[in-house]
A and B are shown apart, each in its own frame.
Chain A
Amino acid sequence: MLLKHGVTAPEPISQSIARRALVITTFKEELIRRLNLPFTPEDLHEDISLLGSGLGLDSLDALEIILCIESCFKIKIPDENIAVLRSINTVVDFVIEQQERKGVAA
Chain B
Amino acid sequence: MRTSPLKDRFAGKGTVLRERYGVEVVARVADKQTECRAVRDTVGLTDFSFTRKYRIPAEQGLDFLDGLLAGNVPKVRFGRVLHTFLADDDGLLVGDCYVANNDEEFILLCESIVPDAEIDRVMQAHGAAAAGMEDLTTSHGLLSLDGFKAWEIAKEIFGADVLGLPYLSIEVYPFQNQSVRLFRAGKTSEFGYLLLVPQAVAPAVFDTLAPAVEKCGGRRCGVDAHDDLRLEGRFFNIHAEGLRVRDPLVLGLQWMIDFDKDNFRGCEAIKRRRAQGIRKKIVGVAAERGCDQLVTGAQIFHDGRAVAEVVADAFSFVLEQPLGLAVFPAELAYSGLSFRLAAADGPSVRTISMPPIMPKSLMVKLDEM
Interface residues of A, Cβ cutoff 8 Å to B: 3-5, 7-10, 13, 16-17, 20-21, 38-39, 42-49, 52-56, 83, 86-87, 89-90, 92-93
Contact = CB atoms under 8 A, between A and B. Distances in A.
Contacts of A45: 252-255, 281-282
Contacts of A93: 335-336, 353
B138 to A, nearest CB: 29
B129 interface: no
Given A9-B332, A92-B335, A92-B353, 19 more contacts: A3-B331, A7-B302, A7-B331, A8-B303, A16-B334, A16-B337, A38-B259, A39-B259, A42-B278, A43-B274, A44-B254, A47-B284, A48-B255, A54-B255, A83-B358, A86-B355, A89-B353, A90-B353, A93-B336
20 contacts: A4-B279, A7-B329, A13-B337, A13-B338, A16-B337, A17-B331, A17-B332, A17-B334, A20-B335, A20-B336, A39-B259, A43-B255, A45-B281, A47-B234, A53-B187, A53-B235, A55-B255, A83-B358, A87-B353, A90-B355
Contact of B252 (A8, A20, A47, A90): A47
B209 interface: no
Contact of B167 (A7, A47, A52, A83): A52
B260 A7 contact: no
Contacts of B362: 83, 86
Contact of B254 (A3, A39, A86): A39
A87 B259 contact: no
Contact of B303 (A9, A53, A83): A9
Interface of B: 83, 167-168, 187, 234-235, 252-255, 258-260, 274, 277-279, 281-284, 302-303, 305, 307, 329-332, 334-338, 353-355, 358, 362
A75 B187 CA distance: 31
Contacts of A8: 303
Contacts of A87: 234, 353-355
Contacts of A10: 303
Contacts, number: 101
Contacts of B282: 45, 47
B334 A47 contact: no
A-B complex: 3 closest residue pairs judged by Cβ atoms:
A45-B252, A89-B353, A43-B254
Contacts of B332: 3, 7, 9, 13, 17
B353 A5 contact: no
A7 to B, nearest CB: 6
A90 to B, nearest CB: 5
B76 to A, nearest CB: 11
Contacts of B305: 7
- Count chain A CB atoms within 10 A of each CB in B234, B278, B283, B358 and give the residue with the most: B234
A37 B96 CA distance: 22
